[in-house]
Structure 1
Amino acid sequence: MPMSMIRRAALIVCLAAFSPGATAQSESYESGADAFAAGDYDTAMAQWRPLAEEGNAAAQYNLGLVFANGFGVMRNAGTAREWYRKSAEQGYARAQHNLGVLLQNGETGEPDYTAAARWYREAAEQGEAAAQNNLAMLYVQGLGVEEDRARAARLAAEAARQDNESARRNLPRLLEGLPAATIKGSKVNVRTGPGTDHDKLLQTDKGAQVHILATEGEWKEIIFTDGYAIGWIAEFLLDTEGED
């Protein structure tokens, strides 16, 4: 994949949803959210900082957002990183993603792709689409991880199925580097794993376009060009030469 395709990773810029907790905390958080929406960043900070210092992951993420983007304060990537880290270490996926972005882009020093990949992976495993896409791009380039286009495709496909626009743009060109094939038969069962003992994922017909991600015995893991579903199919049901 050409480097020109890999865009600078972008922060998620939206407030956290407040985690259920004490009523007083909830009221303070919501007051801060209302003030933030109205552009009153000083009040938002005054409401969120005590919660963040008490360990509330949502408030910590929001403070990271404020300092990363300079909402009512001087932009300070170092302070943003520390608040994001506190939230990320509590498992908050958006904070994990944004911390990864700061590390990948070298916002507070040299780019640290290994650390960025770690935090993207944590968020991706929770289903955060932006992190799935960014981690996929690191796998394409072999930055912080071993280069693995098939793994990149799996991640980007998962993000694309969540309507992540960056993943939808990246996937077609990413798939160009993987072996292409077409489905031979009609009403072909695609399985969740390599073998007929695995559940049927979907049924497809002759001529469907796919790319091959992996091989296990006489089975191939495939990704569909249209819709990006991923499953397993018997090798004899694939035409890799484009012949009938």
Structure 2
Amino acid sequence: MGSSKSKVYFSALLAAFLFLAPNLSWATFSLIKDARDPDYRSGLHSFYQKDYKAAYGKWLPIAKKGNAKAEYRIGYMYLNGLYVKKDPVEARKWFERAAGRGDADAQNDLGTLYLNGQGIQQNLDTALKWFQLSANQGNATAKYNMGILYTLKKKLKDAKIWFEASAMQGYAKANFRLRALFGKN
């Protein structure tokens, strides 16, 4: 009896692995490790308490060592002027580092910088590349941004697909765009 339960359990594990494995990469495992770093988590706690100085102090040393989650957060702080002077060029530097390590939030925010020409010359094709990488990881905001980009390119059929994908994840702005552009609820 225990043997058949073991076989069922093993089969379920194998099926789960085969389903998930194509979507996972070593970068994914590294990002999970980065998010579990005690200094990162401590910085995140400080950040949510709006103690940006403490968050920056925790994140900067580990960001310099290649923690992609901390790199993203440092970039976010520069983009929004939290504890540090607002500097989209410096933000882009940190986003590029984190995006290159596979951080979906950094990829999306880097795409946004290229879309808006913020801290860099506007480049819709490069923005699309970064949004696509982020969207492929399931980032609802990146999917919404793909819709925005395709709207700007007058490719409304493609925009609709991305707005719907984002809306399916509960991203409210995507529902608004769908109603505004296509009269959908």
TM exceeds 0.5? yes
How far apart in 1 are the matches of 2:108 and 2:125? 14
Q: Look up the match of 2:125.
A: 114
Match of 1:104 among 112, 115, 119: 115
Selected match of 2:156 from 143, 149, 159: 149
Change (3 A) 1:20 1:157: closer
2:160 maps to 1:172: no
Alignment of 1:13-28 (within 5 A): 19-21=31-33, 26-28=37-39
Separation in 2, partners of 1:63, 1:148: 34
SS of the residue 1:103 aligns to: helix
1:46 to 31, 38, 57: 57
Tell me which of 127, 131, 152 is aligned to 2:138.
127
Q: Deviations over 1:174-210 (max 9, x none)?
A: 336xxxxxxxxxxxxxxxxxxxxxxxxxxxxxxxxxx
Asked which structure has the greater CA Rg, the reply is: 1
1:133-173, CA deviations, whole angstroms, 9 ceiling, x for partnerless residues? 1111211221xxxx432221111101011111111011123
Which residue, out of 98, 101, 104, partners 1:90? 101
Which residue of 2 is the match for residue 158 of structure 1? 165
Count of residues in correspondence between the two structures = 156
Contact conserved, 2:131 with 2:146, CA < 8 A, in 1? Answer: yes
- The answer to whether the 8 Å contact 2:147/2:162 transfers is yes
Deviation of 1:105 (Å): 1.1
Rounded to whole Å, the distance in 2 between the matches of 1:131 and 1:153 is 14
User: Which amino acid in 2 is paired with 1:75?
Assistant: K
Alpha-carbon deviation of 1:94? 0.7
Q: 1:51 to 1:128 in 2, by over 3 A?
A: same
2-side partners of 1:136 and 1:19: how far apart? 27
- The Cα offsets for residues 86-138 of structure 1, whole Å up to 9 and x where unpaired, read as 11111111111111111111111432211111111111111111111111121
Q: Distance in 2 between matches of 1:125 and 1:116?
A: 14
Cα distance change on mapping 1:58 and 1:22 into 2, 3 Å? closer
Q: Which moved more, 1:74-83 or 1:108-117?
A: 108-117
Which string of whole-angstrom CA distances, capped at 9 and with x for unpartnered residues, describes residues 40-62 of structure 1?
22221121111111111101111
Asked if the contact 2:31/2:103 (under 8 Å) is kept, the reply is no
Sort the Cα spacing of 1:19 and 1:117 in 2 relative to 1 into closer, same or farther, 3 A.
closer
- The two structures, once aligned, show a CA RMSD in angstroms of 2.1
The normalised TM-score by structure 2 is: 0.77
Q: How many Å apart are 1:22 and its aligned residue?
A: 8.1
Contact 2:34 2:40 survives alignment (8 Å): no
- Quick check: 61-70 or 29-38, which moved more? 29-38
Q: Which runs of 5+ in 2 are unaligned?
A: 1-29
Task: Report the Cα distance in structure 2 between the residues aligned to 1:110 and 1:165, rounded to whole angstroms.
Answer: 29
Q: Which runs of 4+ in 1 moved over 6 A?
A: none
* Equivalent position of 2:81 in the other structure: 70
> Structure 1: where are the runs of 5+ without partners?
1-17, 177-224, 227-244
